């Protein structure tokens, strides 16, 4: 909208802004679309793993999954050390990203056998301390209880105790973080609204 407003100021011409959910979601597939539109290579389903980097995937720990994003050889060395297997750094089929991506199932099996020995939260701390990007894979209930979700007003508790989804759009002028009230009953605010038109 800001682009349209600036253009109006500069050109004197207004315009419409059309943003569809389909267009927005389609544009999020940029990685696969570059292959489809360029060399006309059409990707197939690969689960949670990245198509060009490995290990960039989700892994099962003792209690729940963890996502590990190891996108280069430097991170691979940090990860190998953090998992207690420094020999993986120079292992013939794991040595470079291209080799790890080609042999991703072997890498996953090796990592999985280690990661299943501890809870995800423990591994998450170990990996963060080592400088490896990682994060817990949370279900909806655990996600809705995150401090940041609550602090940003994405879950709101109504006066009647019901919880509702908050708006992702925040405005500094209005309290878009705090509680919202129930929708009014039929004609509950009728007198107040009618006074505005007098």
Is residue 88 a part of any domain in this protein? yes
Final residue of a domain: which of 102, 137, 172?
137
Instruction: Note whether 89 and 152 are same-domain residues.
Output: no
Is residue 28 a part of any domain in this protein? no
Instruction: Note whether 127 and 157 are same-domain residues.
Output: no
Is residue 8 a part of any domain in this protein? no
What whole-number distance in Å separates Cα of residue 56 and Cα of residue 138? 17
Across-strand partners of 165?
Answer: 155
Instruction: Note whether 95 and 158 are same-domain residues.
Output: no
Percent of all residues in the chain with a pLDDT value above 90, rounded to a whole number: 58
Q: What is the pLDDT of residue 88?
A: 98
Average pLDDT score over residue span 119-126: 98
Q: What is the pLDDT of residue 20?
A: 87
Instruction: Tell me which residue of 68, 84, 79 sits closest to 133, measured CA to CA.
Output: 68
Across-strand partners of 134?
Answer: 68
Encode pLDDT of 139-156 as tens digits. Answer: 999 999 999 998 888 888
Residue 95: give its domain's CATH number: 3.30.1540.10
Q: Which two tokens stand for residue 182?
A: 């129930």
Assess whether pLDDT exceeds 90 at residue 162.
no
CB-count burial class (<10 Å; 0-12, 13-18, 19+) for 178: exposed
What is the domain extent for residue 161? 147-196
Per the CB < 8 A criterion, the answer to whether 154 and 165 are in contact is yes
Instruction: Note whether 97 and 62 are same-domain residues.
Output: yes
Band of residue 181 on the pLDDT scale cut at 50, 70, 90: low
Instruction: Note whether 162 and 128 are same-domain residues.
Output: no
Instruction: Note whether 132 and 151 are same-domain residues.
Output: no
Instruction: Note whether 129 and 63 are same-domain residues.
Output: yes
Instruction: Note whether 89 and 131 are same-domain residues.
Output: yes
> How many C-beta neighbours within 10 Å does residue 94 have?
21
Band of residue 93 on the pLDDT scale cut at 50, 70, 90: very high
Per the CB < 8 A criterion, the answer to whether 115 and 66 are in contact is yes
Distances (CA, A) of 59 to 62, 71, 93, 118, 175: 10, 15, 20, 12, 40
Percent of all residues in the chain with a pLDDT value above 70, rounded to a whole number: 93
Q: How many residues are present in the chain? A: 198
Q: What is the pLDDT of residue 174?
A: 62
Q: What pTM value is reported for the model?
A: 0.71
Mean pLDDT of the chain: 90
Final residue of a domain: which of 137, 156, 174?
137
Average pLDDT score over residue span 93-117: 97
Encode pLDDT of 17-70 as tens digits. Answer: 888 888 888 888 887 788 888 888 887 788 899 888 999 999 999 999 999 999
What whole-number distance in Å separates Cα of residue 96 and Cα of residue 90? 9
Final residue of a domain: which of 137, 171, 186?
137
Q: Is 50 a catalytic residue?
A: yes
Tally of domains in the chain: 2
Instruction: Note whether 128 and 65 are same-domain residues.
Output: yes
Is residue 12 a part of any domain in this protein? no
The residue with tokens 């963060």 is: 128
Instruction: Note whether 130 and 61 are same-domain residues.
Output: yes
Instruction: Note whether 68 and 102 are same-domain residues.
Output: yes
Instruction: Note whether 101 and 130 are same-domain residues.
Output: yes
Is residue 117 a part of any domain in this protein? yes
What whole-number distance in Å separates Cα of residue 195 and Cα of residue 25? 44
Assess whether pLDDT exceeds 70 at residue 193.
yes
Q: Which of 50, 74, 85, 128 is catalytic?
A: 50
């Amino acid at each position: 909208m800001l682009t349209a407003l600036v253009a109006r100021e500069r050109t004197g011409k207004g315009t419409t802004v059309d943003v569809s959910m389909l267009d927005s979601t389609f544009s999020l597939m940029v990685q696969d679309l570059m292959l489809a539109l360029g060399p006309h290579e059409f990707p197939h389903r690969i689960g949670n793993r990245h198509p060009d980097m490995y290990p960039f995937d989700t892994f099962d720990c003792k209690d729940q999954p963890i996502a590990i994003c190891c996108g280069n050889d430097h991170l691979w060395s940090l990860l190998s050390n953090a998992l207690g297997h420094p020999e993986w750094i120079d292992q013939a089929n794991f040595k470079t990203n291209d080799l790890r991506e080609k042999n991703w199932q072997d890498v996953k099996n090796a990592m999985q056998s280690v990661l299943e020995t501890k809870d995800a939260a423990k591994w998450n701390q170990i990996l963060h301390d080592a400088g490896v990007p990682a994060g817990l894979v949370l279900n909806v209930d655990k996600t809705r209880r995150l401090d940041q979700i609550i602090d940003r007003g994405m879950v709101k508790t109504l006066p009647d105790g019901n919880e509702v989804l908050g708006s992702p759009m925040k405005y500094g002028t209005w309290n878009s973080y705090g509680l919202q009230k129930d929708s009014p009953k039929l004609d509950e605010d009728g007198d107040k609204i009618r006074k505005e038109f007098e």
